[in-house]
A and B are shown apart, each in its own frame.
Chain A
Amino acid sequence: MISDETLMAYADGEADAESRSQVEAAMREDPKIAARVEQHRALHELMRGAGSSVLDEPVPERLIAAARGRTLNAGVVDLSRAKGGRAARNAAARWRGWQPAAMAASLLLGLGVGYLGWHGSGALIRTGSGGGLVAAAGLADTLSSQLSDDRSPARVATTGVSFRAKTGEYCRTFTLAGADASSGLACHEGNGWKIKVLVQSAPEGSGTNFRTAASELSPAIRAAIDGAIEGEPLDHAGEVAARQAGWAPPH
């Protein structure tokens, strides 16, 4: 007796020579077996086209850019090169230059193409002494004081998730609305918040809630969180404790 899985494998062209000749002999003797093999073949043929309408859709630019080692869609700022003017650098050449040891850090910085059109949200984000971006004024205050479940209408920024990074410091995601619409990841270093990834939101027009959620969850930020996080994000009590300690790394 030949198992149905053997018939299936035969129909899929996966049978070895021995089982192939067994199946073929059985098919000659028993039309039911031949019919069953034919069913397996027909189903394979039918399923071959399943979901193929997506093949005819234009591939989003951001995916093509990602495959070529660039991330250009949302204007992810690569903070290792956040000084103006170096934006147009060839991204492919840049990633080729990465050393393996630097890769984790590069992911944390976002796979950005540069300082794309970041029109400087003036007071909230500025260039720090080291050349990177830092949170300033209202954004710095928000990151230091506002808990993630705060949804008061007067807030300067929405804080999303807080966590300890593998490197020890506390990091938080934030979202700015309005003219500065953007999302980012900031980590507390020294006395301030260094911005590790900054993603500008899509231009106006889309619904605000959805846009907020979409940009907060942008792949670059997600990848940065997943690459940097140690353990679980902080819960409410964890945030309160970290805030109380001034976001200084625990010992």
Chain B
Amino acid sequence: MSTNESVENIQEQIVALLPRLRRFARNLVRNPHDADDVVQIAVERALLRLDQWRSDARLDSWLFKILRNAWIDEVRARGRRAKIFMPEEAGEQVGEALMEREIDRLSTEAALARLPEDQRLAVGLVLVEGLSYKDAADVLEVPIGTLTSRLARGREALQGMLRLPQGDPS
């Protein structure tokens, strides 16, 4: 990141990736407002760490990784705050309920949302976002074998939920 031009250029690439970051964030976080908050935190962090981005790496998977870590930190921080923090989160409950109804209408989203988190993220990164196994494993910080077995289990479950023919046609 030696020149201002390159910083601005990357900023614009990040702007262009925002829709996909939001989609991935909603795969992590049900509540759309919370999901956008995590995107914002991730983007702010990414700008502070631009020097850590290797330009041979895909910008999208680098950002997905920051986003996932931001979410992990956020969950941790929430647990910490929840002990003593404000109880006034009724508004969020309404948001959750709305999401639930919407999800029921959309079969692929509904099925995806019901997967356990490990499988949901593997499916989200590879099938929805189109990352390679290697990049997806890197985002999730797991060995590639772990990624493929999560992906395989996730697909198996999806096929059942979407009432597609099962794994062993005979």
Chain A positions near chain B (C-beta within 8 angstroms): 4-5, 8-9, 12, 14, 32, 35-36, 39-40, 42-44, 46-52, 54-55, 57, 59-60, 62-64, 66-69, 71, 92, 95-96, 100, 103, 107, 111, 148-149, 158, 160-161, 207, 209-210, 212-214, 216-217, 219, 222-223, 225-226, 232-233, 235-236
Contacts and interface: CB of A to CB of B under 8 A. Distances in A.
A210 B88 contact: yes
Given A12-B133, A54-B23, A219-B37, A47 B158 contact: yes
B19 A4 contact: no
B18 A63 contact: yes
A54 B14 CA distance: 16
Contact of B133 (A14, A64, A158, A212): A14
13 contacts: A4-B152, A8-B151, A9-B133, A32-B170, A46-B162, A47-B108, A47-B123, A63-B22, A63-B36, A68-B15, A69-B47, A213-B89, A232-B80
B61 interface: no
Given A32-B169, A233-B80, A95 B47 contact: yes
A47 B36 contact: no
B128 A51 contact: yes
Among A51, A62, A68, residue most surrounded by chain B Cβ atoms (within 10 Å)? A51
B169 A161 contact: no
Contacts of B92: 213
Given A161-B81, A216-B86, A222-B74, A51 B27 contact: yes
Nearest to B63: A67
A63 B168 CA distance: 45
Contacts of A107: 44, 48
Nearest to A163: B80
A5 B152 contact: yes
Contact of A43 (B44, B85, B155): B155
Contacts of A148: 84
Interface string B136-170: 00000000000011011001001100101101111
Contacts of A46: 108, 162, 164
A39 B91 contact: no
B116 interface: no
B69 to A, nearest CB: 12
Contacts of A213: 86, 88-89, 91-92
A161 B85 CA distance: 6
B27 A36 contact: no
Contacts of A226: 73, 77
A222 B43 CA distance: 14
Interface string B36-53: 110111011001100100
Contacts of B165: 39
Contacts of B88: 209-210, 212-213
Among B33, B44, B73, B167, residue most surrounded by chain A Cβ atoms (within 10 Å)? B44
Contacts of A60: 36
B54 interface: no
B85 to A, nearest CB: 6
A64 B15 contact: yes
B91 A214 contact: yes
A219 B81 contact: no
Contacts of B130: 48
A71 B158 CA distance: 39
B90 A210 contact: yes
Contacts of A236: 84
Contacts of B170: 32
